[in-house]
Structure 1
């Protein structure tokens, strides 16, 4: 009875378009009332969810991304990407994809990546004659790498929920992120042929070297962060603080950080962090509520029985999470459904680090999938293109991302080889 009430309440509230955090919180309250448990537990579990040192990495990485966006770093990364691939067919589309991968290694957020790269490239792509829908779809799809390439906020959440090493998750996300970037570049090349855009001149090695020198400091940030983590100099949480300090120093060197710009960056970071943590709090209550009612254990046992094998189970997980990603915020989904799916994954001897990458890739694809893909809404706001036109243009990218997902799922060394090498 309690199980049915929880999920029916959650479904009804979501259909009524209540904010996901509110839907999760109210569903948990209903379950607690039916179980005769004091509502004081709501406050206690909210505090307990926040009482996690690794979670501190999230607001700091969000702040680092905002500082780097306004401090001139995103523009320099785009200029370097333009020197590398801008002369190719679909050059500016390739710049959007490659620039997003560079910026993802600075911000750890898909939303920040789409906003930063889209803000820089929207006007130049329009001036070159790219269709607005093509521009919007490319910018939105390129943002997917923000959830995979380290430092990834989704991987931090997965590590907090499961206890898996965040450092190992960061390392495991590197190769899948590169594969996704390359596949999107290849697709962009074929799609851009239809755009019939005149090629821009190749600047040569000299131009590449010049732009590399300009973008050297931003490019060094992920090197410093990752080498510091794996060298044992600092933890992933401390790395987030280092990223903020590095962004401030580089912004001052470039002389593009003003007090007004810093205020804007801090304000955006506070708002984004508040949204994420509110969702985390509500998801934490929901996860605790379903756990004390033995729901994850029951679902895990049922999944193990119907799957029968590791391959079938992974296929079921992919289908389920792709569906969830279409309808739910990725942060909430990873907190709630990891607690349900993780035990069964362990019963099939699936590598916990690999499983974290699979979960994150699934939910990152959901950010570009209608009806609730957050990257689609950000790209729409930046380019002023309607959601309907973006959705019509983004399906080829989604199909390629699904192929990438299958490769990542059924070729484990892609995610685990670096982890084992460093271990």
Structure 2
């Protein structure tokens, strides 16, 4: 009865368009009342959820991304991407995709990636003759890499929930992120070729070198962060603080970051961090309640019996999470459903790092699927294109992302090769 009340009330509140954090909190309260547990536990569990050193990485990486974006780093990265691929068929679409992958290595956030790259690329793509709906779809789909390429906020959350090494998860996310980037570049070339859009002139080696020099300092940041983590110099959480400090130094040294811009960056980072942590707090209470009611164990046992083996189990997980991603915020979903799906995955002998990548890729695809894909709404706000038109244009990208997901799921070395070498 408690299970039905918990999930039934959550679904009902979500259908009523109640914000996900509030819906999770209210559902948890209903479950606590039905379980005859004091509501004081809500405050205790919220505090317990926040009382985690690795979670500090989230607000700092968000702030680092905002500082880089405000300080003009996204424009420099786009310029370098343009020099590399702008002359190809569908060049500006390729620039948006490659630029998003570069910026993802700075921010770890899909929303920040879509906002930063979309703001730079929208007008140039429109001037070059790209259809507004195609521009919006490309910008939204490219943002998916922000949740896979390290430092990924989703991978941090997964590591906090499961206790898996966040440093290993970062390493494991690199090749899947590159795979997604390459597949989107190939699709963009095919689709842009059908649109008949002429490429821009090639700037030559000199143009690439000049744009590289301009983008050198922002490109150096992920190198410093990852080498510092795997060299044992600092933890992923400390790396987030280093990223903020590095962004401040580079922004002011390049004279593109002003104190007014820094104030805006702090403001945006506080809002984004508050949203994520509010969701985490509510999801933490909800996850604790379903755990003490033995719901994960019951579902895990049922899934184990139905699947019978890891191949079918991973397929069921993919289908389930793709549906969840359409309806629920990724941060909330990873906290709640990891606790349900993780035990069965371990019983099948699935590598916990690989499983984290699979879960994260699934939920990242949810950011570009209707009805609640957050990247769709950000791209719509930037390009002034309706959600309906973006959805009509983005389906080829979604299909390619699902193919990528299946490849990542059933070819484990893509995720685990670098961990085996450097982990």
Map of 2:195 onto structure 1: 195
Q: Distance in 2 between matches of 1:199 and 1:24?
A: 48
Q: Distance in 1 between matches of 2:394 and 2:15?
A: 25
Q: Distance in 2 between matches of 1:135 and 1:12?
A: 35
Map of 1:121 onto structure 2: 121
Q: Distance in 2 between matches of 1:199 and 1:26?
A: 53
Q: Distance in 2 between matches of 1:348 and 1:387?
A: 40
- 2:368 partner SS: coil
Map of 1:405 onto structure 2: 405
Map of 2:326 onto structure 1: 326
Q: Distance in 2 between matches of 1:253 and 1:125?
A: 30
Please report the TM-score for the alignment, with normalisation by the length of structure 2: 1.00
Aligned residue pair count: 423
Q: Distance in 1 between matches of 2:118 and 2:263?
A: 22
Cα displacement (A) at 1:196: 1.5
Kept after mapping to 2: 8 A contact 1:169/1:357: yes
Cα displacement (A) at 1:259: 1.4
Q: Distance in 2 between matches of 1:208 and 1:15?
A: 50
Map of 1:133 onto structure 2: 133
Q: Are 2:84 and 1:71 aligned?
A: no
Q: Are 2:3 and 1:21 aligned?
A: no
Please report the TM-score for the alignment, with normalisation by the length of structure 1: 1.00
Map of 1:339 onto structure 2: 339
- 2:17 partner SS: coil
Map of 2:367 onto structure 1: 367
Cα displacement (A) at 1:200: 1.1
Map of 1:389 onto structure 2: 389
CA deviations on 1:161-202 (whole Å, 9 max, x unpaired) are 000000000000000000000000000000001222222111
Map of 1:285 onto structure 2: 285
Gaps of 5+ in 1: none
CA deviations on 1:309-348 (whole Å, 9 max, x unpaired) are 1000000000000000000000000000000000000000
Q: Are 2:86 and 1:86 aligned?
A: yes
Map of 2:215 onto structure 1: 215
Map of 1:33 onto structure 2: 33
Q: Are 2:99 and 1:96 aligned?
A: no
CA deviations on 1:102-159 (whole Å, 9 max, x unpaired) are 0000000000000000000001111111110010000000000000000000000000
Map of 1:415 onto structure 2: 415
Map of 2:246 onto structure 1: 246
- 1:87 partner SS: coil
Q: Are 2:110 and 1:110 aligned?
A: yes
After the TM superposition, which residues 291-306 of structure 1 pair with which residues of structure 2 at under 5 Å, given as runs?
Answer: 291-306=291-306
- Detail structure 1 runs of 4+ shifted over 6 Å in the superposition: none
Q: Distance in 2 between matches of 1:11 and 1:106?
A: 35
Q: Distance in 1 between matches of 2:358 and 2:303?
A: 17
- 2:371 partner SS: coil
Map of 2:181 onto structure 1: 181
Kept after mapping to 2: 8 A contact 1:72/1:254: no
Q: Distance in 2 between matches of 1:145 and 1:198?
A: 26
Map of 2:356 onto structure 1: 356
Cα displacement (A) at 1:422: 1.1
Cα displacement (A) at 1:54: 0.2
Map of 1:57 onto structure 2: 57
- 2:38 partner SS: coil
Kept after mapping to 2: 8 A contact 1:322/1:366: yes
Q: Are 2:161 and 1:161 aligned?
A: yes
Cα displacement (A) at 1:293: 0.5
Q: Distance in 2 between matches of 1:142 and 1:382?
A: 14
Q: Distance in 2 between matches of 1:246 and 1:407?
A: 36
Map of 2:314 onto structure 1: 314
Q: Distance in 2 between matches of 1:403 and 1:414?
A: 14
